Amino acid sequence: MELMTSDLLQNTFMCELCGLSTPYTYYGQKPPNTRAIVLLEECFVTKDPFSPDKERFLVLGSKCSLCGSNACIGSDCSLFYTTRFCMRCVNKHLDQFPTQIQSELMKKKQPSNPAVP
Amino acid sequence: MDRDQRRDRGGDWDWDHPQCRAQLDQIFFRQQDYIQAGSPEHRDFWTFFERFQRFRTRRDVRGPGPGSSGETPGGGGTRGQRDLGLPKEYDARYRINMSVCTGDVEERLGSRPPGSGSSGSRPPGSGSRGPGPEQIADCRLAYLHFLDFTQRQSFGKLARLRRDQKNLPIHQYRDRIVDLVRRHPVVLVAGDTGCGKSTQVPQYLLASGLSCIACTQPRRIACISLAKRVSFESLNQYGSQVGYQIRFETTRTAATKLSFLTEGLLLRQIQQDPGLDQYQVLIVDEVHERHLHCDFLLGVLRPLLARRPALRLVLMSATINIKLFSSYFASAPVLQVPGRLFPIQVIYQPIPPEEQASRLEKLDPRPYLRVLQGIDRRYPPEERGDLLLFLSGVAEISTIQEACQVYATHTQRWIILPLHSTLSLAQQDKVFDISPPGVRKCIISTNIAETSVTIDGVRFVVDSGKVKEMSFDPKAKMQRLQEFWISRASAEQRKGRAGRTGPGVCYRLYAESDYDAFAPYPVPEIHRVALDSLVLQMKSMGVGDPRSFVFIDPPPAASIQTAMTYLREQGALDRHGELTSVGSLLAQLPVDVVIGKMLVLGSVFNVVEPVLTVAAALSVQSPFLRSAQHNPDCATARQPLHSNQGDPFTLLNTFNAWVKVKGERGGGSRKWCRRRGLEEQRLYEMVNLRRQFKELLKSHGLLEAAPPPAGERGQRRERLTERRKLHQLKREHDLTEGSRRKVLRLGEEGEGGSDSGSDAESTDRRTKDKDRPGQSTDIQEVKFKLRHNVSELQEAALASQDLSSRQQSILKLVLCRGLYPQLALPDEHNATRKDSEQVFHTRSKQGVVIHPTSVFASDPEVLRVPEDEVRELGNAPPPSLTRHQLLSFVTLLETNKPYLSNCVRVPALQALLLVANSVDSNADCSRLVIDGWLELELREPDGALKVLSSALSLRADWERLLLARLGQCQNQGQGLGRGPGQGLGQDQGQGASGAGVSRKEMDKLSEGLVRFLLYTEVSYSLRRLTAFQTQNLYVGPQAETEPPQNPLFPGVEAKPDPIKGGLRVSAFFTYNCLADARDLYSECLRTFWTCPTCDLYMPFTPLERMQHEAACRRPGELQDAAAAAAAAEGSKAARSLAAPSLTRVYHCDVCDEDLTLSSTEILKHKRQHMASLK
C-alpha cells in the first residue's frame, strides 16, 4: 500500500473529453481496502479526498470499451451501461441504448447551457 | 402507508425494525467490511436506503417508466453499426460499475434451516426467519446505488475543484511561471486579489517536480488555511506532502514537500540552519505588505542566494511597487497576472466642512447615513449585495454603528455588524453569515477587512480614507496610535473589496484631490516600530552590524541606535555591542525582550510556573473582552479573579481558574468564559505559548526536565485510545468546518450593538449552535486535550494559585526587573484627585494615566500610602514614609491620552535598589538618586546605610547566580552539539558551570530578597528631580581624589567616576557623587556601629561599613562562600560579579608591609593603629 502510493503517485489520469487531470494511485478492478466490493471494469482510482476516512476510494474514470480513450466518470464525458462508453461513442451508437438513456441524454442536451456554476 | 406497502413486499419482514437491519448489517457491514456498522457512513446508508425504497415504491405504483414498455432498443446494429450487445431490458443496475460479493456470508446464513435462526430474541413481526434472498437482494441493490451515489458526489466535487482551478487568471501562466523559476534564481509574481497566486503557484512548482518548498505568510492563520486549501486541491488532504508550521503546531513530516510557515518562523530556521539547506524553493508571499519580518527576511535571503546558487526564490506581491522588489534582487524577472475583479464604480463624496469632526469630537454619522439611504433609493432590495465600511478605529466604529442601527431598525433593510480585532471571535465570525432576502449586511470595520479578512458578497464599499497606525516614539519610549490618511495603495485595496463577486461601487468620503495627495504606499512597518527585537535577532544571527545591513528600504539610523542602546541597558548587548549570554538566550525567545527577561529571571527562583503563565498572558491579546466591562453580571463574575497587586496577577488568577474549570468540566469552560466576558481563544493561546516557553527554558537547561510520566500501562493505553478518538473528532471537524453558514435574523445585530447586553444574546445564539449537527464538538477543546496534559497543567496552576506573600513578592520583583526601566511614579497630588484622574510619570513621559481596563483604574486607593502613615501631611512637601509604591508596567501607549497598561505595584525603595541601572548617593547615603530622575531622601542615615548595603550584596549574589545559571545552560547547549555561530557569549561565565548553582544558594538568595522586600522599614521621601536639579546633580570629576583605597568589593575596582565624580563602587552604584551642600565631611566621619553578623563594634565611615557588610559572613556561611568563590575562580565574568574572595593583599602604610587579610581584618588592623595614635 505504502509502496503503491509512492510509486504510482506520479501517474496522472487525464480525461480525453473534458481535460480533467488528476493523479491516480491505482489502476484495476480491485482497489485496496475495498473488501467485498469489486469494480466491473478496470478503473483509474485514487483515495477519496473528501471523505474523513483515509481508506475510501474514488473512481476517476476508465477506458472506453469501444474506442479505448480515457474518460472520466462525469456524466458529460462517459456513461456506464454494463461497460464504459465515452460520450463520443454513445452518441455514435445512441440508437442501441435503451430509451431511458436516450431520453435522459436528450433532456440534458435541451437546455443549451448546462448548469456550469 | 409507506410502511404497510413495504411490509407487504417483505411478507413479515419489517425494514424499520432495528433487529432486521442488524441482520443485514451482519452480511454487508461487518467490522471487516468497507463500511462498518455504527460508522457515520453506515448511518448515511440507512437514510439513503429509506429514500431509495420510497423512490422504488413510487415508481412501482406509477408503473414502469414512460417509453420502457416492452420497447427494445434497436438491437442488432442498424445501418451497419457495430452491435454493442447491450441487454434488451433496461435496468438501472447496469449503470453501476461495481458489485458487492457477499456470497460466503449468504451461504452461511442460507444453510441454516428456516426457523432455527436466533432462538432467544425473535425480531417481533418478522416471524422466525432471517432475511430472505429477496431482502438481501434489496439491500444489495440499495448498497450499490449508495456506493454509486457517493462516488458521483465525491467526483462532482473533484470536477468542480479542477474547473475552478482552471478558471483562475493565473492558470494560463502556469508553464511560464515554472519556466521562469527554472531559469532564474529570483522571480517576482505580481498579481492582484483573486488571481489565485497564493494557492496555485506552490502547486505548479510541486507538480513540476520541485520539492522542499517553503512558502511564507505574514499571518499564522493564512498558513493554516492555505495548507488546508492546497492539500485539498492536490487531493492529498491526509497525506503529508503539504503541511504548515506555525508557532505552536506543525504538520510537517519527513514526507512534506511543501510547507506554509510564517516569516518569523523561517527566520528562526535560518538561525539554526544558516544555509536553509532543507529547502529548494522559497516562496515569500505578500511582500508588498512590508512587514518587519518580511523586510528583514528579504535582507537575509539576498546574500544567501549568492551562497546557494541552486536555491530558488519566488516573491509574490500585489501589483504594488513592483520595481522596488525587482531591483533589490538584481532586476529579477517580473510576471504580472491580472486579478479577477469586476468593474467598480468610484464615487467621491467628500465630507462637507460642517460635518467634519474636530479632533476631540465624535464622528458625525450623517455622511455615512447618506450612503445607506442612497443605496436604498437606488438599488431594489432584491438585488443582493452587502456594504463594507472602513473606519479608523473602534470608537469610530461604535459611533457610526449606533447611528446606522437606528436607521436599520427603522427601515428593516439592514443588519449592522462591527468588525475589529478586539471583538470576540464569535462576533467577528458573524460577518460571514448570510443576511435574509431583502436585507443587506452593513459591516463596519477597521482596516482588518483590507487584507486579513476577506468577505464575499460585498458590493458596496464606503472608505473614510482614515487609518489608525501604531508608531513608536523613541524619545518618550512610547507607542502611539494615531490617525492618518491612508495611502493610495490602501485605497485601491479597499475599493477592490467591492468587486470580488460582481460589479460594485466604492464611495470615497474624500475628494479626488485628496486621493491624489495620498502617499503612494503605506509606511513600511520597519519605519514605524521599535526595532529592539529585530536588532537582537540580527545580532544573534550574526548578520553583521545592524547599521550597515542592506535592507530593501533601510530604517532610520536613529531607530537602530535607539534599539542598540536599549538592548545594552537591558543587558542583552555588552559595551562593544556584542551579544551577552543573556542576550543570546533572549534572541531565541519569540517574545519581547522584557517578557524574555522575566522568563530567564523567573527560572532562577522557584516561581517558574507563575512566571511562565504571566509571560504567556502578557504576550497575547487580553482575554478580557472590552464589551463585557460594562456588563454588571460579567463584572460581578470577574470580581474574584481580580488582584489588586496588579493586572498580571489578575491574568494569572484567571488562567489558573480556567485550568481548574477545564480539568473539572472540560468543554464547560466555554460557558464559564462567557459568563465572565472572557475570550477563551486567548486562554488557549496562552496555554500553548506557556508550553512553548517551558520547552524553550528546558532546552536551555534553565528548567529541569520533568521525569517522564510514570503512568500505569493501562492509563497510558487509555490516554492513547482517547487521543485516537480526539484525532478522529478533529479530522471530522476539519471536513465540516466552514461548510455551514448561518442566516442572520433582522434585529440580531443588536447584540454587538452597544457595549451592553451582548452576553445574554450570544448565549442563546450559542445554544442554538450546539443543536446544529457538526457544531457540537468544541474543536478548541479537542485540540487542547490533544496538546496538553490537563492534570499536569492543573498541578502547575495549583502551584501558582495560592501564592504566599513571599512568593508573590519574588514574582513581583521578577516582573519588575524584567519590565525595567518601565516604571511609573504616582503624582504627589493624586490623593486630592478623583479616582478617574490619577496621574503618573515615567522617566521620559510626564502625565500619563492608567488604562481603564487596569485594576488600578478601578481601585487606585491601593497605590496610595496608607492613611495612618501620612503623619505630617502638609508639612514638608514630600512626605517621608515607608510605603511608597511605584508602578511597573508593560505598555505605554498613546491614543487620545498616554495610557499605562498591565501594571504591577511594587515597593519603591526596595525595587529601585534591586533593579535600577544607576544608583547615586551622597556621602552619608541619606540621599539617593535613581537613574537620574528619582530622588530618595532617607531619614536615618544609619538605616539608609543598612538598606543600601543589603541591596548591594543581594544584587551581587543574584547576578552571580544568574550568570552561573546561564553559564550552565550555555554549556549544555554546546554539549548538545548545536552548530557553530550560535555565539552564546563566548567568553562569559563558562568557568562557573563547573560548580553549577545549588538549590540551597538560590533558596538563600530568595530568602534574602523576600526579607528585603517585605521587612525593610525605612522612612523616606520620594520625588522626581526638577530639570534644574538634574543639571546640577553631580560633583563632577575631582582634581585630586584619594587613591581608591578599601574598595568595597574585592574584584571590582572602585574607581573615581570620570563624569559624576565620587567613587564608582559597583556597576550600578556610585558613592558620594551627588552634589550635596549639607554634609561635606560625612564621607570621612566615623560613627560607632556594631556589625550584626560578627558583633564587631567600632567606628566606621559609611564606605567602610558597607565594605565590611559585603564581606562579613557568619562563621557557618563562610564555607559556602568560600566554595562559591572557588567555583568562580577562572571565570572572569563571575569574578567581576563580586564573588567574594575573602582575603586580599593589603598594604598598610603604617607598618609599611603587605598583608593578606580579609576586609574585617583590615579594619581591625587599622583600628589598632588608630588606637595607638591616640
Average pLDDT over residues B767-787: 59
Nearest neighbour of B74 by CB, restricted to A48, A82, A96: A96
Tell me what pLDDT residue B963 has: 81
Contacts A35 to B, Cβ<8 Å? 32-34
d(CA B411, CA B400): 16
Is a pLDDT exceeding 90 seen at residue B824? yes
Chosen for mutation from A58, A92, A107 (greatest number of chain B CBs closer than 10 Å) is A58
Average pLDDT over residues B125-144: 78
Contacts B203 to A, Cβ<8 Å? none
Tell me what pLDDT residue B513 has: 96
The overall average pLDDT reported for chain B is: 80
Q: How many alpha carbons lie under 13 Å from residue B272 in its C-beta half-sphere?
A: 9
Average pLDDT over residues B253-282: 90
Instruction: Assign 3-state DSSP to chain A and report helix, strand, coil percentages, each to 5.
Output: 25, 30, 50
Q: Where are the beta strands (DSSP E) in B490-595?
A: 504-508
Contacts B734 to A, Cβ<8 Å? 52
d(CA A37, CA A40): 10
**Does any CB of chain A come closer than 8 Å to the CB of residue B155?**
yes
Which residues in chain B (227-246) have CB-CB distances under 8 A to chain A?
232, 235-239
**Does any CB of chain A come closer than 8 Å to the CB of residue B98?**
yes
Is a pLDDT exceeding 70 seen at residue B1079? no
Contacts B39 to A, Cβ<8 Å? 53
More confident residue, B118 or B240: B240
Counted across chains A and B, CB pairs separated by less than 8 A come out at 135
Which residues in chain B (15-54) have CB-CB distances under 8 A to chain A?
28, 32-34, 39-41
d(CA B1088, CA B1098): 5
Q: Which residues contact B122 (CB under 8 A, 6 or more apart)?
A: B128
Average pLDDT over residues B744-772: 44
Cβ <8 Å between B82 and A58: no
Is a pLDDT exceeding 60 seen at residue B880? yes
- pLDDT-based confidence at B786, cuts 50/70/90? confident
Backbone φ and ψ for B443, nearest 5 degrees, come out as: -100, 120
Tell me what pLDDT residue B1142 has: 53
- pLDDT-based confidence at B64, cuts 50/70/90? low
- pLDDT-based confidence at B758, cuts 50/70/90? very low
Tell me what pLDDT residue B710 has: 55
More confident residue, B782 or B171: B171
Among B333-347, B522-536, B1052-1066, the range scoring the smallest mean pLDDT is B1052-1066
Is a pLDDT exceeding 50 seen at residue B1080? yes
Nearest neighbour of B71 by CB, restricted to A58, A80, A99: A99
B815: Cα separation from own chain's centroid:
19
- pLDDT-based confidence at B876, cuts 50/70/90? very low
Q: Is the dihedral of CA B814, B817, B823, B829 positive or negative?
A: positive
d(CA B347, CA B845): 44
Tell me what pLDDT residue B451 has: 80
Tell me what pLDDT residue B929 has: 93
Chosen for mutation from B84, B140, B229 (greatest number of chain A CBs closer than 10 Å) is B84
Nearest neighbour of A41 by CB, restricted to B97, B101, B160: B97
Cβ <8 Å between A100 and B94: no
Cβ <8 Å between A97 and B236: no
DSSP type of residue B885:
E
pLDDT tens per residue across span B952-990: 989 988 888 888 877 766 555 443 333 333 333 333 333
Is a pLDDT exceeding 60 seen at residue B122? no
Q: Is the dihedral of CA B1110, B1116, B1117, B1120 positive or negative?
A: positive
pLDDT tens per residue across span B307-346: 999 999 999 998 888 999 999 999 999 999 988 778 999 9
d(CA B1151, CA B313): 77
Cα dist from B15 to B11, B18, B138, B1157, whole Å: 11, 8, 11, 104
Cβ <8 Å between A58 and B158: yes
> Do B822 and B890 contact (CB within 8 A), yes or no?
yes
Query: 3-state DSSP call for residue B521?
Result: coil
d(CA B317, CA B343): 21
Is a pLDDT exceeding 80 seen at residue A116? no
Nearest neighbour of A46 by CB, restricted to B74, B101, B235: B235
The winner for highest mean pLDDT among B369-378, B729-738, B1014-1023, B1107-1116 is B369-378
Query: 3-state DSSP call for residue B759?
Result: helix
Q: Which residues contact B186 (CB under 8 A, 6 or more apart)?
A: B305, B312, B313, B314, B315, B329, B330, B332
- pLDDT-based confidence at A53, cuts 50/70/90? confident
Nearest-neighbour CA in chain B from A67: distance (Å):
12
DSSP type of residue B1032:
T
Nearest-neighbour CA in chain A from B68: distance (Å):
7
- pLDDT-based confidence at B531, cuts 50/70/90? very high
**Longest CA span, chain A:** 47
Cβ <8 Å between A37 and B98: yes
Residue-by-residue DSSP string for B441-501: EEEEE-GGGTTT---TTEEEEEE--EEEEEEEETTTTEEEEEEEE--HHHHHHHHHTTSSS
d(CA B315, CA B215): 10
Which residues in chain B (701-760) have CB-CB distances under 8 A to chain A?
728, 731-732, 734-735
Cβ <8 Å between A66 and B82: yes
Cα dist from B103 to B10, B111, B136, B141, B799, whole Å: 21, 12, 11, 14, 64
Cβ <8 Å between A97 and B73: yes
Contacts B732 to A, Cβ<8 Å? 52
Cβ <8 Å between B158 and A80: no
Nearest-neighbour CA in chain B from A109: distance (Å):
19
More confident residue, B1020 or B361: B1020
d(CA A112, CA B664): 62
**C-beta neighbour count of B290 within 10 angstroms:** 23
Please name the residue of chain A whose CA is at the shortest distance from the CA of residue B154. A50
pLDDT tens per residue across span A54-79: 788 999 999 999 999 999 999 999 99
Nearest-neighbour CA in chain B from A115: distance (Å):
12
d(CA B416, CA B738): 22
Among B231-235, B859-863, B927-931, B1155-1159, the range scoring the smallest mean pLDDT is B1155-1159
Tell me what pLDDT residue B802 has: 75
Which residues in chain B (236-295) have CB-CB distances under 8 A to chain A?
236-239
Angle, helices B680-699 vs B647-665, to 10°: value is: 100
pLDDT tens per residue across span B93-116: 899 999 998 777 766 665 544 444
Give chain A's length.
Answer: 117
Contacts B97 to A, Cβ<8 Å? 39-41, 43, 59, 62, 80, 84
Nearest neighbour of A82 by CB, restricted to B82, B86, B158: B86
- Strands B98-100, A37-39: pairing is antiparallel
Tell me what pLDDT residue B49 has: 93
Cβ <8 Å between B81 and A96: yes
Tell me what pLDDT residue B988 has: 38
Integer-rounded Cα Rg, in Å, for chain A is 16
d(CA B485, CA B466): 5
More confident residue, B1164 or B846: B846
Nearest neighbour of A50 by CB, restricted to B78, B81, B157: B157
Tell me what pLDDT residue B589 has: 80
Tell me what pLDDT residue B705 has: 63
Residue whose cell numbers read 544573534 = B540
Cβ <8 Å between B154 and A33: no
Cβ <8 Å between A49 and B158: yes
Tell me what pLDDT residue B62 has: 63
Please name the residue of chain A whose CA is at the shortest distance from the CA of residue B159. A20
Nearest neighbour of B235 by CB, restricted to A43, A49, A116: A49
Angle at B574 between CA B570 and CA B579, to 5 degrees: 90
Nearest neighbour of A82 by CB, restricted to B94, B153, B157: B94
Nearest neighbour of B84 by CB, restricted to A20, A22, A93: A93
